[in-house]
């Protein structure tokens, strides 16, 4: 209590207004839904604490609560069915006879040990409890993602409670939550890769290397994105005009070679798809890209760092265009755009935090994030029984029924 009183003494008038708004929001939500009131109260607490570790823990818990309808109600189908079958099998199979060997129609790759070993240990420890697996995968994903966004927002000089707004907005507006428990290894690998690149920006090289190694040994597709990043970094060191265009063209041909050589994609999988990217998603990403280019131009950063950003974005766009003739690799590699999306959002919002009306704007941004997340869940082909809207609506109805 003394800590809160001490903090209250030094609050500015605008900060006191923010605190009062949050307090009455919690009371308002309580009358309709305890679930919403708990989330609002946790968000309020995340604004009070100064420790990044505490705020990361609180926000991770909030994200897990928001996406709990996916964690606990996700139907066992698609790729998740494959993961749960192997997870249950590992309860009785020796790991060395499983790792690197064929199991059913698939061969477990030696180059991807991280997830398989984690799945083996968890299967033996919990009796192959699928809910525990879903919860652990989600916790790793959202925990590492939240940590990375805190580091990234701090790199762009976002501080105080505004950091929480930027992190929440980046999570809600970038991630496709239905894929976390679908493309499990790729999602884990991608979040490790994102964290590694962010730590490189923050000059924490040892931790960055650890996360980059984790990403590649979780799923090999991360090596492609990492290779493009390394190429972009090396090209940025050679200062000449049009380097981003050279990167785009070179990556375009690499993408074409990837899908046309027959080395990476077998004849059986050629021309096959596993879904399509919604045209609205392309439009959304294009808007974010132009907003990013406008914002990063006016942000005070070293020219060398900006050059890396430009070349990396151009390189990956070229690669995606190169693989576009084949639906399967396009879909599987396009989902790495989520991390570009998150990066763009952090850059754009870090430019907007200086606006006078950012407080009011932040409410709209978070609501927009909620609508976007709800749309991605409801439009998913994976058959989720609940969306965020229906889940919250049920908690409200259940609470009102008691009265």
Q: 367 with 400, same domain? A: yes
Asked whether residue 274 falls in the same domain as residue 343, the answer is yes
| Mean pLDDT value across residues 319-333 | 85
| pLDDT (0 to 100) of residue 159 | 75
CA distance readout (Å), 349 to 145, 207, 237, 344, 354: 17, 26, 28, 9, 9
- What 3-state DSSP class applies to 92? coil
HSE-up of residue 20 (Cα within 13 Å, Cβ side): 7
Burial of 145 (0-12, 13-18, 19+ CB in 10 A): buried
Domain assignment present for 126: no
62-115: pLDDT as tens digits: 888 877 766 777 777 778 888 999 899 888 888 888 888 887 777 888 888 999
Residue 381: pLDDT over 80:
no
Q: Cα torsion for 280, 285, 288, 293, to the nearest 10°? A: -140
Residues 6+ apart with CB under 8 A from 145: 171, 175, 191, 194, 195, 342
And the tokens for 146? 């939240």
Give domain status of residue 118, yes or no. no
- Yes or no: say if 350 and 158 are a contact pair by the CB < 8 Å rule: yes
d(C-alpha 250, C-alpha 235), whole Å: 11
Name the residue range of residue 272's domain. Answer: 220-354
DSSP at 132: H
Supply the pLDDT for residue 29.
Answer: 55
Does a structural domain hold residue 228?
yes
* Residue 94 domain-assigned (yes or no): no
Same domain, 286 and 321: yes
Residue owning tokens 């818990």: 61
**What percentage of the chain reaches a pLDDT higher than 70?**
80
Instruction: Based on the fold, state whether residues 189 and 226 are members of the same structural domain.
Output: no
Q: Give the pLDDT confidence score for residue 399 in this predicted structure.
A: 45
Q: For residues 197 and 229, what is the distance between their CA atoms, to the nearest angstrom? A: 9
In this structure, are 399 and 299 located in the same domain? no
Residues in the chain: 403
Rounded CA gap, 178 and 191, in Å? Answer: 15
pLDDT at 402: 44
Measured from the Cβ of residue 273, the count of other Cβ atoms closer than 10 Å reads 11
pLDDT tens digit sequence for 252-262: 998 888 877 65
The 3-state DSSP class for residue 330 equals helix
Position 145 in a domain? yes
Domain match, 69 and 187 both? yes
How many structural domains does the chain have?
Answer: 2
Of residues 10 and 164, more confidence is placed in 164
According to DSSP, the residues that pair with 102 across neighbouring strands are 107
Q: Tell me, yes or no, whether 252 and 283 share the same domain.
A: yes
The pLDDT value recorded for residue 61 is 87
pLDDT range class, residue 403, cuts 50, 70, 90: very low
- Quote the mean pLDDT of the chain: 80
pLDDT higher than threshold 90 for residue 371:
no
Q: Answer for the pair 167, 150: CB distance below 8 angstroms, yes or no.
A: yes
- Clarify whether residues 313 and 344 are in a common domain: yes
**In which band, very low, low, confident or very high, does the pLDDT at 136 lie, cut at 50, 70 and 90?**
very high
Q: From the CB of residue 335, how many other CB atoms can be counted at a distance below 10 Å? A: 18
More confidently predicted of 267 and 98: 98
Query: Does residue 277 form part of some domain?
Result: yes
Written as one string, the DSSP assignment of 193-252 is HHHHHHHHHTT-HHHHHHHHHHHHTT-THHHHHHHHHHHHHHHHHS--TTHHHHHHHHHH
More confident residue, 384 or 195: 195
Give the torsion through C-alpha atoms of 71, 75, 81, 85, to 10 deg.
70
Q: What is the structure's pLDDT at 299?
A: 76
**What is the C-alpha to C-alpha distance for residues 396 and 187, in angstroms, rounded to an integer?**
32
Give residue 1's pLDDT: 39
SS3 string, 377-391, reads HHCCCCCCCCCHHHH
Residue 81 has a CB neighbour count (10 Å cut-off) of: 12
Give me the torsion for CA of 64, 68, 70, 76, rounded to 10°.
110
Q: How confident is the model at residue 143 (pLDDT cuts 50, 70, 90)?
A: very high
pLDDT score of 325: 83
The verdict on residue 98 lying in a domain is: no
Confidence at residue 125, expressed as pLDDT on a 0 to 100 scale? 92
Whether 191 contacts 177, CB under 8 Å: no
pLDDT tens track for 147-193? 999 999 988 877 777 888 889 999 999 988 878 888 899 999 999 99
- What's the rounded mean pLDDT across residues 343-349? 91
pLDDT digits (tens, 9 = 90+) for 269-288: 555 555 677 788 889 899 99
* pLDDT value, residue 268: 53
Two tokens, residue 310: 């430009």
Residue 32 predicted with pLDDT over 50: yes
**Residues 283 and 337 placed together within one structural domain of the fold:** yes
381 class by beta-carbon count within 10 Å (0-12 exposed, 13-18 middle, 19+ buried): exposed
pLDDT digits (tens, 9 = 90+) for 220-243: 889 999 999 999 988 888 767 778
271: left (phi over 0), alpha (psi -120 to 50) or beta: left
Give the per-residue pLDDT at 181.
Answer: 84
Do 32 and 172 belong to one domain? yes
In sign, the C-alpha dihedral spanning 178, 184, 186, 189 is positive
Residue 3's pLDDT band, with cuts at 50, 70 and 90, is very low
- Alpha carbon distance 289, 127 (integer Å): 46
Domain assignment of residue 110, yes or no: no
Same domain, yes or no: 329 and 387: no
Q: Are residues 49 and 154 in the same domain?
A: yes
């Amino acid at each position: 209590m003394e800590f809160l009183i001490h903090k209250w003494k030094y609050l500015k008038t605008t900060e006191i207004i923010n605190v009062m708004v949050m307090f009455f929001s919690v009371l308002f939500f309580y009358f309709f839904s305890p679930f919403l009131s708990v989330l609002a109260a946790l968000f309020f607490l995340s604004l009070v604490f100064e420790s990044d570790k505490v705020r990361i823990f609180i926000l991770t818990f909030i994200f897990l609560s928001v996406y709990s309808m996916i964690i606990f109600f996700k139907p066992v189908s698609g790729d998740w069915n494959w993961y749960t079958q192997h997870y249950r099998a590992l309860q009785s199979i020796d790991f060395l006879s499983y790792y690197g060997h064929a199991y059913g129609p698939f061969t477990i790759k030696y180059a991807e040990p991280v997830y398989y070993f984690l799945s083996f240990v968890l299967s033996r420890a919990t009796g192959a409890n699928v809910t525990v697996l879903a919860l652990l995968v989600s916790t790793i994903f959202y925990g590492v993602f939240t940590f990375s966004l805190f580091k990234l927002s701090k790199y762009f000089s976002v501080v105080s409670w505004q950091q929480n707004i930027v992190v929440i907005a980046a999570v809600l507006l970038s991630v496709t939550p239905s894929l976390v428990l679908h493309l499990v290894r790729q999602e884990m690998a991608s979040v490790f890769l994102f964290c590694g690149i962010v730590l490189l920006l923050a000059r924490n090289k040892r931790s960055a290397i650890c996360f980059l190694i984790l990403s590649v040994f979780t799923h090999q597709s991360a090596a492609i994105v990492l290779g493009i990043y390394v190429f972009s970094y090396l090209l940025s060191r050679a200062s000449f005009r049009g380097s981003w265009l050279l990167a785009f063209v070179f990556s375009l041909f690499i993408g074409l070679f990837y899908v046309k050589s027959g080395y990476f994609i077998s004849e059986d999988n050629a021309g096959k798809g596993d879904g399509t990217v919604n045209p609205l998603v392309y439009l959304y990403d294009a808007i974010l890209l132009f907003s990013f280019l406008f914002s990063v131009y006016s942000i005070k950063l070293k020219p060398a760092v900006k050059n890396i950003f430009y070349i990396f974005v151009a390189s990956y766009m070229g690669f995606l265009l190169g693989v576009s003739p084949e639906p399967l690799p396009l879909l599987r590699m396009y989902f790495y755009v989520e991390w570009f999306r998150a990066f763009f959002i952090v850059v754009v919002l870090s430019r907007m935090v200086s606006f006078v009306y950012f407080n009011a704007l932040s409410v709209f941004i978070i609501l927009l994030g909620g609508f976007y997340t709800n749309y991605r869940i409801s439009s998913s082909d994976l058959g989720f029984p609940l969306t965020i809207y229906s889940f919250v609506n049920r908690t409200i109805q259940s609470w009102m029924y008691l009265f």
